[in-house]
A and B are shown apart, each in its own frame.
Chain A
Amino acid sequence: MGLGILLAIVATFAWGAGDVLVRRAMFDVPAELVVVVVVGMVAAVLGVVIVSTEGFAAFGGIELAFVGIVAVMGALIWVTGNLFYFHGLKRAGVTLAAPILGAGPLFAIALAVVFAGERPNLYTLIGAFAVVVGVAVILTDRKRVLR
């Protein structure tokens, strides 16, 4: 469990840093190209990691249902997720759109309870609520943005 928490925290910082580098890249490069290069790089890096740790055999033994689910995931995460979010930012502005994305954990818990049958304890629920409120407090502070 401790390693799981640590990995989730590593993911949080890696995504956080990655988002900033994407924003920096978009100073010089169109958003469409950034998305394509980044997702291509993700596939390449993970492919190298798999080959070096599990060998080529890890790519085999894939069922049709698996292919269907990861195809839906690819569309959800990289197309509708990013594409819709960019359109949301463009129309509603970061102050309104970003906190909505920050409320994700509450919906994640709701889906996990309904579809995965998970039963989060009270402290997890309070912690999730604190995260969502904290993120909303940060993102709606207009004074933090200098330019």
Chain B
Amino acid sequence: MSAMAASADTRRITIGLVFAVLAMLSFVTGGLLANHLVDGGYSPVVVAFYEALFGLTFTLAIRLRALRSDRAPVRSGWGWMLAAGVLFALATGSFYTSLDRLDYSVAAPIVGAVPLASYLFVLIVLRGYERLTPRVVFGAALVVAGVGLIGVAN
């Protein structure tokens, strides 16, 4: 019985890892396509706008039924979502504009430091959920050194 449970666990985790790999490939391919359009002379902000417009259309089409049955969000939820939207707009616009000036192979590793930036904001916004450990400090130092090296080298 326990062997069956372990097998189910392994299968669940394996499927999860496959999903994570597909998500990573989706993000990376999306960035490469953005780089292609920006290199082709399109305005980076216009590219980001149309990408978001299609993203909105697809997410609405796929999740419309689920959205109808969802409970209404509380007022504080709206504040967090709208603020997140402004930040994501700033992020997408800035990243695609950076692709106008940098190779994708230079800009992508810098944006790879997003988890570190998230971690810093978790310590501020979601205080009490995570803490600073020596291992985290070491990892952060590696990320900062990596981004610094890319910046200096380019």
A residues with a Cβ closer than 8 A to B are 1, 3-5, 7-25, 27-30, 32-47, 49-50, 53-54, 58-59, 62, 66-67, 69-85, 87-93, 96-98, 100-105, 107-109, 111-113, 115-116, 118, 120-121, 123-124, 126-139, 141, 143-147
Set of chain A residues within 8 Å of B27, measured between Cβ atoms: 76-77, 81, 101, 104
Max chain B Cβ within 10 angstroms of own Cβ: one of A4, A42, A44: A42
Q: 9 shortest A-B CB distances, which residue pairs? A: A41-B85, A16-B117, A74-B54, A91-B16, A92-B16, A78-B55, A134-B142, A130-B146, A4-B101
CA distance A102 to B119 in the complex (A): 13
With A and B bound together, what is the CA distance between A121 and B39 in angstroms?
20
Which residue of chain A has the shortest Cβ distance to B149 in the bound complex?
A127
Which residues from B are CB-within-8-Å of A14? 87-88, 90-91, 94
- Whether the pair B32, A112 counts as a contact (CB closer than 8 A) is yes
Q: Are A5 and B110 in contact (CB under 8 A)?
A: yes
Instruction: Among A21, A76, A112, A139, point to the contact of B115 (Cβ < 8 A).
Output: A139
Residues on A with beta carbons closer than 8 Å to the beta carbon of B87: 14-15, 17-18, 21
B50-109 residues at the A interface, CB under 8 angstroms: 50-60, 62-63, 66-67, 70-71, 73-74, 76-78, 80-95, 97-98, 100-109
In contact, A9 and B150 (Cβ under 8 angstroms):
no
Q: How many interface contacts (CB-CB < 8 Å) are there between A and B?
A: 473
Q: A108-B31, A120-B105, A124-B106 are in contact. Are A50 and B20 (CB under 8 A)?
A: no
**Could you name 20 residue pairs across A and B whose Cβ atoms are closer than 8 Å?**
A4-B101, A14-B91, A17-B87, A17-B118, A17-B121, A20-B126, A32-B67, A42-B92, A49-B93, A74-B56, A91-B13, A97-B16, A101-B24, A103-B24, A124-B149, A127-B150, A128-B112, A131-B142, A134-B138, A135-B112
The size class of the interface chain B forms with chain A is: 35 or more
Chain B residues proximal to chain A, CB less than 8 Å? 12-13, 15-37, 39, 42-43, 45-60, 62-63, 66-67, 70-71, 73-74, 76-78, 80-95, 97-98, 100-122, 125-126, 128-133, 135-136, 138-154
> B101 touching A1 by the CB < 8 A rule?
yes
Partner of A116, one of B32, B138, B152: B32
